[in-house]
């Protein structure tokens, strides 16, 4: 059984974005939502899952995260809106 890795983007209500990678998407987004640790996502209330991709290769996931982090904001927005035009919180699909 192979492990699954996710590259994800979370956003605030005014669309500040954060790109990350994890092997446990549901738990990681829960952490963003509950903000247990001070930092960027807590300061800007970045807690809505607006985009994610999955892969079974950890190195691919890390490379993809770095790639997306290197993009200009407009390209990140286009990526999000290609799959989630209304910036809905996709986390709700995992908890419904």
User: How many of the other CB atoms lie within 10 Å of CB of 25?
Assistant: 21
Domain count across the chain: 1
Q: What is the pLDDT of residue 34?
A: 87
pLDDT of amino acid 93: 86
- What DSSP state is assigned to residue 54? E
The three-state secondary structure class of 6 is: strand
Does residue 35 have a pLDDT over 80? no
Are residues 19 and 9 in contact, defined by beta-carbon separation less than 8 angstroms? Answer: yes
Question: Is pLDDT above 80 for 41?
Answer: no
Would you give the DSSP letter of residue 70? T
Give me the CATH number covering residue 26: 3.40.1440.10
When pLDDT is cut at 50, 70 and 90, the band that residue 71 belongs to is very high
- Owning domain of residue 68: 5-95
Phi-psi region of 35 (alpha: psi -120 to 50; beta: other; left: phi over 0): left
pLDDT at 52 over 80: yes
In this predicted structure, the answer to whether residue 9 has a pLDDT above a threshold of 80 is: yes
């Amino acid at each position: 059984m192979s492990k699954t890795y996710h590259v994800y983007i979370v956003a605030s209500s005014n669309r500040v974005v954060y790109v990350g990678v994890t092997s446990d998407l549901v738990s990681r987004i829960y952490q963003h939502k509950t903000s247990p640790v001070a930092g960027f996502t807590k300061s800007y209330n970045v807690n809505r899952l607006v985009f994610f991709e999955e892969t079974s290769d950890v190195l691919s996931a890390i490379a993809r995260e770095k790639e997306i982090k290197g993009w200009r904001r407009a390209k990140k927005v286009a990526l999000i809106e290609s799959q989630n035009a209304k910036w809905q919180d996709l986390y709700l699909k995992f908890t419904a």
